[in-house]
Each structure stands twice: as structure tokens, then as C-alpha cells.
Structure 1
Amino acid sequence: MSGHRRPLPVLSHGRDQMTCLYRCGNACDHPVPNPTDNPYLGDLLSDGLTRRGLVRAGAAGALVLGFGAAAGATPAAAAAPAAPVASAGKAPAAGEAPVAGAASGRAAALGFKPIPPNELDTVIVPNGYDHAVVIRWGDPILPGAPAFDVHRQSAEAQLRQFGFNNDFLAVLPLGHDGRRALLVSNHEYTNEELMFPGFTTLEAMTVEQVRVAMAAHGMSVVELERAGHTGQWRPARGRHAYNRRFTMLETPFRFTGPAAGSALLRTAADPAGTTPIGTLNNCSGGVTPWGTVLSGEENFNQYFVGGDQAPAELKPSLARYGITTTARYPGGSRRWERAQERFDLAKHPNEAHRFGWIVEVDPYEPGSRPRKHTAMGRFKHEGANVIVAKSGHVVAYMGDDERFDYLYKFVSKKRYRPGDRRHNLTLLESGTLYVAKVTGDSPAAEIDGTGKLPSDGAFDGTGRWIKLVSGDRSYVPGMSAVDALTYARLAGDAVGATKLDRPEDVQPSPVTGKIYAALTNNSNRAVGTNPGVDEANPRRANRHGQILEITEDGGDHTGESFTWSLPIVCGDPADSSTYFGGYDKSAVSPISCPDNVAFDRTGNLWIATDGNALGSNDGLFATAIEGPERGHLKQFLTVPPGAETCGPFITGDERSVFVAVQHPGEITGATVENPASTWPDGDFAKPAVVVTWRPDGGVIGT
């Protein structure tokens, strides 16, 4: 590596051009994929500092696991069993622990001193905390994996090593003594400039380099062990039985549900339409009550070429999902069709339909085949998070991460059976898919685009869940069940779903049962001919985002009506357009672009950010959402420049918080030889998973 590094621009606001290219294929440079004129909310209204650190919350938010916590407790508002206490064998024990361990119903006080905003090239956490890297890009995880060498990387090596750009994280207990666990991580996308020395352009990459990038996508499962009696974790020494990689190059999946085997999913390589290869652009996810991990396929559109030569009847649906249909090579094309022809839609137009689903993997069964659940709908999934309703049905909440797109929920046909894992593994294969429609309760004139609260003192209103598909029956006029699931966005358009500002991670509270969605931002809100402001999106050119809180009527998660409010409207607390649950804003940390949300076992809300538009590095924040401390938001951690904070995961004993530091140094002009960040090893930037704990053994956050 060269000893001379030229200065690079500091990432001081919003997303960098490199992020836009690789994360979403420069989506903001293209027309909004939702051109429909279905009603949106406005229309409805008219009618303490240390360098020892932690990292981000990924693609689906952090759940809480047992690790010896008392099993059998249930959240206050819903009988919600979730993340399991595993047996020492391959499957969880018959008794499955609740999502939040022993949820208390009262949030523990967040006693840590908040850290100030900063732009330091390290992970920063409060005084009294420690942190360590758990695993990084290229670390060997499968037998035969070579030591990582950035100058000699190959696809065969990457298939056996930890992938790139770790996003969502889950940490599932293995055994009953709290000393072993399984880390499951998404690998969302690749930054080729930061992977290959001498990189020039995507078009100039060799086919082998393309194959390396494909192998770096997907998911990893890694067995962990606790370091002594502390909250620190590390890869288990000498153990590989559970370790796995799921990649785009070679991993077979299985479709389930109504669309499995349909004409829309059939290809020349898979004429049965049942066996897709690989999982793509996996963002956030979730953990099920039966001990599996859900993963959301998000910006899959940017990997395909040849949309201009796709069949004419498919072009409208391809365009609705952001696939370019007017040029063979859209801007930022990764040219994967050079390694595998299936990414050329001129030759294989249905291949795009095989991505955009919720994936379920079973980390406790190393030989199990992962599944894609068509009953849960196809769109740009941020993730999926599950709660068990009072009736016993499983309910999953999901966001479609695009400007002016929709919020969904899925209700299983079958009921959850505690201890019956074989049965529970089928719960996401059939059920009912809904999309949200919301309205405000304030006069339209009081929502003026400045973020000023209406006269009733709150941004709030009512909503309903509109049924799209139930089993094999479609409720969308002119669409079959297969069509409505494969083209869930078009189904939402047809029934007049509400256009929201990039609904990303959606998480039920384990204590109250209320639902929290991160609406990350939308700089196009009320700009030009784009939809105007409304009570759920009350600011023009919304750069900072907000948190949406949903309360299902009667506490029934299977119901079709709800109320909603905005407990947090993000930004600089000194800005009059921000709101923090009515709390004194002089005591609140600034926050911008909420991406993932998570809960500790007592019900505090943790928020990870992506794209901080306030001039600081992204970070992890926490606040109470009930009681007198509601809205007292405090910054817990920051990540290096160019990185986002992903996958926060809080263990059930609350002694450890895992975060994924995704794309550190993702700043235009950065390369392997000339990095914008040298975290974590001092040479060049590498995505990595970090764990944070209190050396005194205390509870995180208190």
C-alpha cells in the first residue's frame, strides 16, 4: 500500500455519491418508482466520550434473546414468544423463550451519559463501556478458508470467508449456559473501490472479481463463544459445525406459498419455478419465536441489465420496482451478467421476480435449505419482525424502503404452537397480506410543511390495514393472488395505500405491543410535482426522518384498524421543526435519518441511523417511549466516517449490544490504497461486527 494518501472529502451531510451508487443504484437520480395518483395523507386531509466503542443497527432491528433469562414471560400487550433459548443440539429446546426475555413492563432508566456528535475515525461509546471487533470482512469461517489477503482475493476464498457490508445481525443462544451463541449476519452489497486494489470502473472488473463480489453478498452464520464471564464475544475456537455462507454464486433456496411454481417464477434453469439461487441485497431482518432468522431482500433491481429488451408486458412492473427499461446498461450497473447470464433480463426476464422476498434461514440446522416466502409479498424489503397475537397467529410487520412507498403486515393462517418447532416452521408459508392506509386528525391547513405541531399538540390519526391476498384469494381487482404477491407494489397502488417517506425497519415493542417504524427521510417530499406534506410526513424536503408509532385497536395485531402518532420527528433539537415526545429538547441528542429500531427487554427504544444529515458520524441512540422520560433521546455510540450503524442486537441478559459497522470509509474518491477510513485495523476500511459491554458486568444502557 502506498505510504502517501491524498486528502479525501469529509462526509459531513447525508449520503455520499459512493453510497448512492452501490446501496441503491443511484435511485434518487431516477424517477420515483411510484407514479400512481392514489391518495396519500395530504389528499385525505384535504378531503460522555471514550474511544472504546460500538456500532450500527442493521437491516431489521435488534431483538432480545434469552441467554439464561427467565422463559415464559410475555409482553404486556401480546402473547409474543420469540427468540428461543436453544438446546445444545441443533434445534431450540421445546420451551421457547419470549422475544424480550422477561419483559418487565417498565423501562429501566437510561443512565449512561450521552456522547457528543463527532467525526472521529473510530467507534465511540460512553465512559464506562468497552467494545471489540467480533468479526470482519474476509475473516475465515469455513474449513479450508485461507487467511484474508486483499491482493489475492478469489471467489473460492470469499465463499469461505465472512462477507462484505454486514447489515442485520441476530445472536441466538446455543446451549443453556449462556456461553455459546450463533451470529447470523446479512451482507447487503459491495463497494468495489474498497475491495480491489487498482480498481478503476465496474465495467473494467474481471469476471473473477465479479464472482468475488457475488460471493461477498448474502448471509453468514458464525458460532460464537463468550470471553470469560464478560459481555464480550468472539468466534468460537476450533468449531465449524454451524458455520455457513449463503451466497449469490451457488446457494439453492426454496420458494414457499401461493406464488411458488408459478409462471412468473419459472426460468430456463429452473422450469419448475421453485428453486432460486442465492439471496440478494439483504438489508434488515428479524428473529422468529421458533429460532429462525428472517432477512429482507431490498435493492435487488440494480443488479439486472437488459430491461429495455424484456417483454413489453413486463416493462411496467419492472419499472415499478426500479429496474431500468429504457437502456440496456443503467447507471451503476454491476455487470453481473458477465459471470452469470441470468442477470440479463433480455434473456431471462423472470429472474428479477425471484428476488425481493422475505428469506427464512434456520441457523440451528446446518444442512437445512433456506426459503423465500411468497405469501409475505415481494417489494424492497427492509426486513420483517414478528409478534405473536393474542389469538396465537403470527404477525410480521414490514417496510418497503423507497420514497413514497408502503407499510405492510402479514398475518399467518396457522397459529403458533409453543414447543412445536416442526409446525412453527410452516407459519410464514400461508396467510394474509395487508397494506397500510393512514389519515391524520388535524385540519390540512395546520400541516404547513414547517414541522409545527397542529393545535391538538400531536401529529397523529387513524389507519386501516387493507387486505391484498389471503391464501390463494386476491382482494385486488384485476389481479390474481400470484400477481398481487409478486407485484405487491402494484397491488398497493391499486387499493390506494398511503405513500410514506421510506418506511424501513418496523419493530413491535415486547412490552406494550405497539409498533414502531423508522421513516428514514425523503428530500423529495413536497418538492416540485411530488406529493405534499401530510400529518405523518409533516416537513417539506424531509432530510432527517421520523419515527411512526402504531397502536393496533384493542391490542389485536390481527385486526384491520389502528391509531398512530409521531413520537419523534428527527433533526437538531434546536430546530423548531423537531419533536421528541414533548421532552425538554435542550436535554436531547441530535439525530438524523433513523434506519433501524430495536428494543431492550424493559421496553426502551434503540434507534440506529444511516445518512446523518447533521454533519456527524452515524450512531446508535436510545430513549424511553413510555412515562416521564418519553422522548429523552440519548446518543450511545458513533461509527467511523462513511459508515452506517446497522443491526443493533441486545442479548437477553442485556450485558452485550452487537452492532454492524457497514461500509466504513464509503466516501467518493476513497480506494484500498487511499482510504477515507482505516478502521478497524489501521490499514484500510473493512466492514465489521462489534460488541459493546460494561466491564463492571452491568446492564447495557443503565
Structure 2
Amino acid sequence: MSPTFLPMLGHTRGNRSAATCHFKCGNACAKDVCNTSTNNYFRDIADTALSRRALLGLGGVAAAAVAIGVDVAQAPEAAADFGGFGQGGGKLRFTAIAPVERTVDEVTVPAGYTWEPIIRWGDPLFRKTPDFDIENQTARAQAGQFGYNNDYLNILADKGSTRSGVLVANHEYTNEDLMFDPAWMDDDHVDEARRIAMAAHGLSVVELRRKKAGTKWEYVRGGARNRRITATTVFAVDGPAAGSDLLKTKDDPTGKKVLGTLNNCAGGTTPWGTVLSGEENFNQYFQGTATGSPEDSRYGISAGPTERGWELTDPRFSAQNAGYENEVNRFGWIIEVDPQDPSSTPVKHTALGRFKHEGANVRVAADGRVVSYSGDDERFDYVYKFISRDKYKPGNKKHNMTLLSAGDLYVAQFSGDSPASEIDGSGTLPADGAFDGTGTWLPLVVDGESKVAGMSVEEVLVYTRLAADKAGATKMDRPEDVEPHPTTGKLYIALTNNTDRGKANKKAGADEANPRAGTTSATSNRDGHVIELTETGNDATALTFGWNILLLCGDPKAPASKLYFSGYPAEKVSPIACPDNLAFDSKGNLWISTDGQPGTIGYCDALHKVTLEGPDRGRVEQFLAVPAGAETCGPVIHDRDDSVFVAVQHPGDGGTYAEPTSLFPDYVAGRNRVRRGQAYAPRPSVVQVFSSRANSGAGRSRGARATTADAS
């Protein structure tokens, strides 16, 4: 691709690939910040009548509530459906690996472990689907093959079995530079190339099998539950905005049926066994109206031609085509898919609001209502919470699949407990020794009524960002995964980074929940942080909370950086930057996958374990590193099964079809080369890391690691 189409070329942070910026989020960092609102981004603790002790449930009445109000992240029968990978036990033992230089083209795992790909881009899901042939791709073939750039991942073992299950993965976006021979991308083939890309988006559901517990899973070609969901799959729309005039198009005058899902990032598995997926950077696929609008601007939609050019192949991707003015409003939702029923119609849930969802994760409150959390992954955007109207019914999947259709929507406002003078943007700890405070869930829709002046319920749900601006939500540093702890109920929020905080024209300076700001690498938030949030009385339906910063990320070897690991000595942790996806193991430890370490601290993206309790709280240990150019996604921790799974996304980004910078995942020079002898194409894949002891003679655990120079 010509540099003309890579605005971030030469302007990325550190060593981040301009191709990643271009294809993943439409060069968001090269464009103006979408949130130009002047809502209060921070409120001092003195402005609220609620004390920190009351919010944290430390008073007598609230303390009693903690003792009797027990929440669960997933119901017992759901844990059984996952093959018993619930709480308790835990035997994943490893010695942390050293950080891996960003040029190393290898999956690096600890001693005693090995790795193998389970499924790769282009692998056929169905018996009649052709084998992958990079030189002879078609949209029809891709619609039956594993999609591109897998992000969210789960491995769901069948109930009562350790030998069968399903894999569910999102496919976030495509990189045509690596997918197609540029000589083929002429006027005769450009429409087909776009349709191939459309078919490579969405989700895959794939049956798995293995010989015995603790060994490698293999995918089943032709499995009864295998399914591809793409940019043209039919979706139902439910919730209060279903049927709204804001969702109607010439193809769907009902406003209740949408074709496709786009830019699916993270997600979550519900207690009733379905999968939720977040539509994230959907704006880059759509051409806005010729005149523009405040709504379009707030979502980053512009009037000019899109860089992907899909509007030239399918008219619904341009609001300038009559009848398609609302098509973009039909994206940016949380979708729900039943991985056990390939004939079921997936659903877009409007009750959870429309924004750039990183994902959604669910817990069941003590009173039986379901609570879902989601981050809006953009600089200065917000954290949201949804509380269902109806209650969870154990074992009643049909009923439970309606729980996200009606309920109340809130957005978070954070307050700090330190004087403003102590939050100077440097990341220096305030005098009380912690970045912490309290917060409130501000109402957007409650009991079927809008709580935002001047906006109807439909407008709040379709233009949720504007509603949250009016409500006074706290501008955060790219909130991504929001995960409830499976036993304590505490929330963990990954905030990837934000180098624009504190700049004069961005209307948001440092605050205690986002304490780093500035224009230099030493002071700006290039490396991100993680917040731990405790809802009042440990009640998932509470509308107040306490919070603290668990990690202020970075490389301890960079002396100018201000880092914080909950009091654990910084010199004893693995370097970590740009936290993205979160997971937990059976002992309750937090696992963090990263997206952007090559561009900030110079190391390959990685997966880290973080201790949450005891004297080692805040200890970060690196478990693996992904290859050059790749991002670590997923992850799934089955430590009782001696396995860890990650989705390796965009390996070799920054390379080209003719000159790739990665040979992942096969690393065989002659294997899968195109017939004209050009270089091998890297293939995004799902990888299983497992104990070498349980899989003697299988997999890879190389001592020597290739660099990209060796690979290409």
C-alpha cells in the first residue's frame, strides 16, 4: 500500500506499525479526538457527600451487606458446561520469561511448555470448503474458512467431557497488504477482494476434539456446530431502539434486521453459555453524509471516501446513497451468538448502547439480575454498565437470552480522594500512597425512560456517546476490557494508553483515575494502566463504587517513567505496557494481554500474570510473547488443564505480501508459499500453550529465536 494511504507512517509511537493503525482503527490517532465535550472530567471528593468508607462498604450496615450479598460471575451450571474449568485448584507453574525484542519472529514460552496452532486464517471449516490457497482466494471460499485477525477467544469444553468442545473467535479486521498479491488487485478483482475482506470479518465457531485431558486440541473440519458469521450474516435487532426510525434503511424498513457485524474486538461468555462480541471501530467502514453532523463527528465518521472503499462495492456503506443514511447506526452494538446452535439468528442488543465496544462481560447479581460492563475504546471515552430488568433463571437458556434486551444503562464518573495539587500529570503517587477514590454510575436510561435532558430513549441508545457527554461521565484513557473477578466480584479495567491527555486542545488534563499527562514520552500515558473497582457492598447493582489503580504500566528500566505496581517493587516485575484483554486463572490471578508494547517499550506483545492478593500483590510475570508485529489477544487460562490459549493477531504487520516480516505460524520456508515463489504469508491463528510433560514429543519449544531479518 502506498504511503499516501498510511497517514501514521513516520508518526507512530515508537516502533508501532503504521499498517496496524491504518487497518485496525482507521488511523484514529492521526485524526481529531472525537470527544470534544466540556463535561466535567473529574470531580473532587469534597464535592460529594458520600465518604470513601461508605462507598467501599466499610460502615456497619454496608459491611453486613458484604457478608451476605454474594455475587457470582457465572452460574454453577455454566461452569459445568465449560468442562469444569471453574474456580479452585490451579497448577500452572512457570518461571517468567525475559521480555522479547520486537524483531523476534517466534512464540516464546516458558521452560517446560510448548505451543501449537489450533486453527489459522483460511483453514476450512466445512467439508466442501476448499483448502486455503493464498493465490486463488474467493469470497465464497473465505465465507467457509476461518476468518482473519482473530481477537476475542474462548474454548468451551462440552458438559461432562474433557475431549470435545467448541472454539469461538472474533475476526476484527483485515490487512489487504498481507492478504493479496498487489498485482492481482486491479480493476478486475478489486470488488472480489473487498468481498473476501467482508467474508473474513465477523466470528467463527469451530468444534474441537482431543485424545485426552491436558493434550492439544484439534479443530474438526465439518463439525456439526461449525459456523461462520460475516459482514453479510442476518442479525436480529432487539431492545428499546429496535424498530426506531434511526435504524431504518431502504433494505430494512422495519429497523429490526441488519446484515453483518464489523470490527469485532473483545467479548465475553455469558453464564448461560452464549458469546457476546463488541463491534468496535465500525466508523472506518462508512462514508458519512455530505454535510456531516454532530452525531457523525462524535463517532469519527467523515464525509470523504473511506480508505477501505467498501461503499464502491456495496452502496449501504455510504450515507450519501439514498436510503442508507442510517446504515452506520446499525453498527457499534454488543451482539450475542449461541455457539451451540448454528441455525440460530445472532442478535444486536440496543439496550446496552451504541459506541466502540471493546467487549462485554456479565455477572449475576445477588438478586438475580444480570449486570454487563463495557469499555468504549477511544481516547477520552467512557466505561458503561447495564443492569437487566429481568432475573436470571438457572437452566433456562431461552429466557436468559432475553436478559440483555431490557434494563437500565449507566456510565461511570470517577472521583479522587487526593488534593488536585498532588495530581500533577507526572504519575507521582499522592501523599496517601495510592491513586484511589470513589465513583458513581450516572443514569442514562432507567425504567424505560431517558435520564438525559433533550434526548429520547432511542436517541440515548443510538447516540450513547453524546448522552454520556451530557451526563458528565469521566473521560478515560482508552478503556478496553472490563472484567468482573469470578469470586470477589471486583472489576478490573484495562486502560491501554492516551498520549493526548493534558494537551491544550484536548479539554482534559490529568486526574487521579488517569494520572499521567504530557507531551513527552516520560510524562505522557504511552503505557497505560489498570483500575480495580469495588462496587458498594460488593453488590453488582449498586450505583456507587470505590476504586484504585492496580498498575501504572511501563518498563522499570526507563528511569524517567513513573510506575506503580500496588507497592510491589518495580525492579522485580516484568515490563508491561498497553494492557488490553483480561482473564483470570483458577486461583484468581489476573492475566493481561497487551497491544502496543513494540511501539512503547520496544518488546513484542505479551501475556502476563498479575498477583492480586497477599504480599505479592502487583507482581507482574511474563508468560509468553507473540511474534514480530503481532498483538496478543484472548486470552483463555485453563490452568487446571495445564493450558493457555491466545489469539495471535496481525503477525507481520508492517510487512507486505511480497516481503513479509513474519513466517508465523508454520515457519516452514517451502510450505504454503504461493506458486510464483514469493514469500510465505503470515496467518493470524489461535495458539495453545501446554505442558511439555503432558504432550511429550509434540509442539515447539525452541531455544533459538529467529529475527525478522532471518525470516525474510
How would you bin the TM-score normalised by the shorter chain?
A: 0.7 to 0.9
- Does 2:302 match 1:324? yes
User: What's 1:564 paired with?
Assistant: 547
User: What's 1:124 paired with?
Assistant: 108
1:84–1:364 CA distance, 2 compared to 1 (3 A): farther
- Does 2:587 match 1:602? yes
1:193-241 residue CA offsets vs partner (Å, 9 max, x unmatched): 00001269899961011100000000000001124443311112x5421
- Does 2:622 match 1:639? no
Supply the distance in 2 between the matched residues of 1:500 and 1:201 (Cα, whole angstroms). Answer: 40
User: What's 2:708 paired with?
Assistant: none
User: What's 1:675 paired with?
Assistant: 660
- Does the CA-based 8 Å contact 1:76-1:512 persist in structure 2? no
Alignment TM-score, normalising by the size of structure 2:
0.86
Alignment TM-score, normalising by the size of structure 1:
0.87
Shift of 1:14: 5.2
- Does 2:322 match 1:345? no
Query: Which residue among 69, 73, 76 is the counterpart of 1:80?
Result: 73
- Does the CA-based 8 Å contact 1:143-1:160 persist in structure 2? no
Query: Which residue among 522, 525, 531 is the counterpart of 2:501?
Result: 525
1:198–1:608 CA distance, 2 compared to 1 (3 A): same
- Does 2:272 match 1:272? no
- Does 2:386 match 1:410? yes
- Does the CA-based 8 Å contact 2:69-2:538 persist in structure 1? no
Shift of 1:362: 0.1
- Does the CA-based 8 Å contact 2:171-2:202 persist in structure 1? yes
User: What's 2:649 paired with?
Assistant: 662
- Does 2:696 match 1:696? no
User: What's 1:535 paired with?
Assistant: 512
User: What's 1:511 paired with?
Assistant: 487
- Does 2:461 match 1:485? yes
User: What's 2:214 paired with?
Assistant: 230
- Does the CA-based 8 Å contact 1:617-1:640 persist in structure 2? yes
User: What's 2:310 paired with?
Assistant: 336
1:194–1:471 CA distance, 2 compared to 1 (3 A): farther
User: What's 1:621 paired with?
Assistant: 608
1:475–1:201 CA distance, 2 compared to 1 (3 A): farther
- SS of the aligned residue for 1:140 comes to coil
User: What's 1:398 paired with?
Assistant: 374
User: What's 2:706 paired with?
Assistant: none
Supply the distance in 1 between the matched residues of 2:584 and 2:120 (Cα, whole angstroms). Answer: 25
Supply the distance in 1 between the matched residues of 2:15 and 2:554 (Cα, whole angstroms). Answer: 12
User: What's 2:265 paired with?
Assistant: 283
1:588–1:686 CA distance, 2 compared to 1 (3 A): same
Query: Which residue among 560, 565, 571 is the counterpart of 1:586?
Result: 571
- The residue identity in structure 1 corresponding to 2:385 is K
User: What's 1:113 paired with?
Assistant: 96
- Does the CA-based 8 Å contact 1:181-1:223 persist in structure 2? yes
User: What's 1:502 paired with?
Assistant: 478
- The residue identity in structure 2 corresponding to 1:534 is D
- Does the CA-based 8 Å contact 1:83-1:99 persist in structure 2? no
1:306-341 residue CA offsets vs partner (Å, 9 max, x unmatched): 43256xxxx11111001014xx215xx211112211
Query: Which residue among 368, 390, 407 is the counterpart of 2:344?
Result: 368
- Does the CA-based 8 Å contact 1:82-1:99 persist in structure 2? no
User: What's 1:5 paired with?
Assistant: none
1:153–1:571 CA distance, 2 compared to 1 (3 A): same
- SS of the aligned residue for 1:483 comes to helix
- The residue identity in structure 2 corresponding to 1:280 is L
Query: Which residue among 228, 237, 258 is the counterpart of 1:245?
Result: 228
Matches within 5 A, 1:51-450: 77-82=70-75, 101-103=86-88, 111-119=94-102, 120-198=104-182, 206-236=190-220, 239-248=222-231, 250-309=232-291, 315-325=293-303, 328-330=304-306, 333-347=307-321, 348-450=324-426
1:642–1:307 CA distance, 2 compared to 1 (3 A): farther
Gaps of 5+ in 1: 1-7, 48-73, 87-94
- SS of the aligned residue for 1:161 comes to coil
Supply the distance in 2 between the matched residues of 1:645 and 1:430 (Cα, whole angstroms). Answer: 34
- Does the CA-based 8 Å contact 2:77-2:394 persist in structure 1? no
Supply the distance in 2 between the matched residues of 1:634 and 1:75 (Cα, whole angstroms). Answer: 34
1:265-295 residue CA offsets vs partner (Å, 9 max, x unmatched): 1000000010100000000000000000000
- Does the CA-based 8 Å contact 1:113-1:127 persist in structure 2? no
1:360–1:152 CA distance, 2 compared to 1 (3 A): same
Supply the distance in 1 between the matched residues of 2:13 and 2:327 (Cα, whole angstroms). Answer: 38
1:445-473 residue CA offsets vs partner (Å, 9 max, x unmatched): 11111111000000000000011112431
- Does 2:31 match 1:30? yes
Supply the distance in 1 between the matched residues of 2:683 and 2:165 (Cα, whole angstroms). Answer: 23
- SS of the aligned residue for 1:464 comes to strand
**Alignment length, in residue pairs?**
641
Supply the distance in 2 between the matched residues of 1:111 and 1:147 (Cα, whole angstroms). Answer: 37
- Does the CA-based 8 Å contact 2:172-2:263 persist in structure 1? yes
1:447–1:359 CA distance, 2 compared to 1 (3 A): same
1:318–1:201 CA distance, 2 compared to 1 (3 A): farther
Shift of 1:85: 5.3
- SS of the aligned residue for 1:419 comes to coil
Supply the distance in 2 between the matched residues of 1:471 and 1:150 (Cα, whole angstroms). Answer: 52
Shift of 1:586: 1.7
- The residue identity in structure 2 corresponding to 1:27 is A
Question: Which range is displaced more, 545-554 or 688-697?
Answer: 688-697
Supply the distance in 2 between the matched residues of 1:411 and 1:308 (Cα, whole angstroms). Answer: 38
Supply the distance in 1 between the matched residues of 2:76 and 2:313 (Cα, whole angstroms). Answer: 38
- The residue identity in structure 1 corresponding to 2:589 is N
Shift of 1:692: 0.7
Supply the distance in 2 between the matched residues of 1:76 and 1:602 (Cα, whole angstroms). Answer: 22
Supply the distance in 1 between the matched residues of 2:199 and 2:380 (Cα, whole angstroms). Answer: 32
1:447–1:553 CA distance, 2 compared to 1 (3 A): same
Supply the distance in 2 between the matched residues of 1:581 and 1:663 (Cα, whole angstroms). Answer: 32
- Does the CA-based 8 Å contact 1:258-1:471 persist in structure 2? no
1:665–1:109 CA distance, 2 compared to 1 (3 A): closer
Structure with greater contact order relative to length (CA < 8 Å, sep ≥ 6): 1
- Does 2:536 match 1:553? yes
